Amino acid sequence: MAMQAVLKKLETRIGELVERYEGARRRIDELEKEIESLREAAAAHEAAAARIAELEANVAELEKAAASGEETGRRAAELEARQRELAGRLEQVLERIDGALAGE
């Protein structure tokens, strides 16, 4: 009888170990899936970070172009003002020439 009790106890413990092993395998499978999911998320994050860097570079270029455009606009306004000034002076010169020619 004692032998049968020991065998029964051994059988019970083997059953417990099998259940624990199966539970551990299920947990390993869950963790492997979670790891894969995290790897995918990390790859997506890296792609997003690269895209952000690219967009930041584009913004910097656009800001530089805008600043250059503003400078060009200011320069154009200065040149237009000088052009109006020179046109006024030219009109005065032409009036004097016309007056001199009319006085002859």
- What pLDDT band is residue 104 in, cutting at 50, 70 and 90? low
The string of pLDDT tens digits covering residues 67-85 is 888 888 888 999 999 999 9
Kindly report the three-state secondary structure assignment for every residue of the chain: CHHHHHHHHHHHHHHHHHHHHHHHHHHHHHHHHHHHHHHHHHHHHHHHHHHHHHHHHHHHHHHHHHHHHHHHHHHHHHHHHHHHHHHHHHHHHHHHHHHHHHHC
The string of pLDDT tens digits covering residues 12-70 is 999 999 999 999 999 999 999 999 999 999 999 999 999 999 999 999 999 998 888 88
